Structure 1
């Protein structure tokens, strides 16, 4: 090993393009061990192209020496430990991006990429966002199972998510990011604790079932909520007794305060029954909720809902295997079998709508396009369905949707309630 390191250290300065390709090829085999390899090697990468003649200037010399130094002193990469939290750190320069996958600040893997074409003209915040997207694409097999941390100043993510209209590239990036259970860790600033708590909303949105299409309408409920109205209205700009407001949301320490409406029950049910080993007891369900949420008498709500869970009482341990997919029955008459879906992420209309609730008759293919808000939950959607579909066509026999089964359960429950049926 010492002999190989000595040979690498004494590698002569290339005098011909073939010698550059030889060194570049050797170094590229170990790019995973060198932080920001693509950016460092960019001057050498340029001259190995067929369209560029051989030239060796100070820029190439510096890159050559820096790569040798990094190869000789490459850090020892740690093996991933799936019981610990993964961390990602991203950086972007004028010509390249670099990311690091870590645990407890120990590097597990490096990724770097030289920017080419249109990417070279991205503004800084876009390059930072692109670096994050490439990191998640590269290490998604590590990151999807559990919550992980992104070290950033949040400017790029904050800028993109604050736009009213996103172009196709930005929308694709944001949509991809929201499939991951990430938490933002801010590098500096006195608002770190507050901002970190709010950033967990990204995790909540991606891990909760689709019974609630957004959290934005929570802001509108605080002012008249019996549990939080006094604190919310009296202390708009300053913290009081561990409560504070941030961007319209009310927090107690680092937990989101949930007003007294149907979301509380949905959160309890999701925490109790969600995950691979669902139907937890009262204590475990409370622990899950207390990590992210706060409202008075939470334990009473958890006990009440757990007591009504038959699965939890019987503690079933067997899970039947999934059967084969079966075809949908062929409809025989109009508006007896319908399907429904949502078109999200649209620009806000003059009346404030930003989504479309689509209901299609599977027999005639006739469709209703109903304006709605992305914040509508199952109860609101059932109201719209009753007003715009049931009023004209009656109650259907079947409804096909790719929404969560719990969403459909609440939907049907609300629909039957409007008809006066138990």
Structure 2
């Protein structure tokens, strides 16, 4: 303006644009990042062909304009420098075969990234692919976003908003849980953005770099090993499921439907309601982290689920931990209802609940103990107040010395508790047991005489064990297998099993 004043140049206020971020000048755009070709000028000859009543004649000018536009599209635009003081936005998207991501500040790109999916990743359901795109973006741009108080993530898959707000444990899909764990080191805020506005990441997910090298034998073996760990089965059992699934025409039709996206085949009609939750490794089919069982193995799986002769709801909770097929809940109900062993051993009417003991946070810090007799044999039961895990041991004698000897074995396995709750029997009141308590530094709390209900945790464990032993005897099955199944059955109140609470895994 000073220069105009010295040269006595007058400007029209209505036509003056003052302090604008960019300006067009002689076919170019002048921006803070530098000078760029004006795309409107370059594409002008092509846009003339789109007007009404204009004959479509392709000339040398059109060919030149078309080639220049292609060059601009394939050439990386100007990137801005990263500024740690400015908020960061991650654009993430997944196509059928690739992942794309862009790091954005003030609406301008700082960096781009894309890669092709592996053959295993291509079998993921769409929600897993979209979450994988976020994991890929955070790992690629880790040096920019790690330690930031907030990083806004834009995705065109709306369900991810809710998934990343919930606890990891709220997701039943083991694969999603693993990916969420990898995102825990970042402070992410996921925001849904329509796909038409996510054009950078969308383009990158389709414009892929060179194909990835096919995984070698070691990578394939590692993937199979991880799959066996997730399913908590032996390699031999996994091989049996793979062989049977490959021969099951219905499951193979589901595999084709997952990969093609075409669910119009009659053979997959039962799976259509849960199609968004299904994934495949090419042979096996999964609903989340649960294995879809082939038809020929379903009867055997039902027998395994009901090995402990638990009720309908408990058996269903056990099934929801690992397996799935259409109509599974109904099949469990029919099987339990027809079970003669369960019908013969019906639970008695429950009493009014009493005030509960304080339940510690750490497992095996407070345990209950009790003796019981079944089938003319004496047993000791030790149950954990936190996890409900119990140990049961057949004893030749219920003397104080036998009690101390078995406690040493169990404490060597699980650790010494801080407190033991037991009924007021002579064994627990004896000098031998109290000397043992002083030696290992734990507290002994005994129940009131003639009121064993105050030792309700151990009493309840005794009731459960007797029921398992009776049902196993009637059905001529292994009682240890029944105890194993009970330990792996999720609680109705917490949704987790005693094994998971005590050991953090299934067994």
Same fold? TM cut 0.5: no
In our comparison, the structure showing a higher alpha carbon Rg is 2
TM-score, with normalisation over the residues of structure 2? 0.25
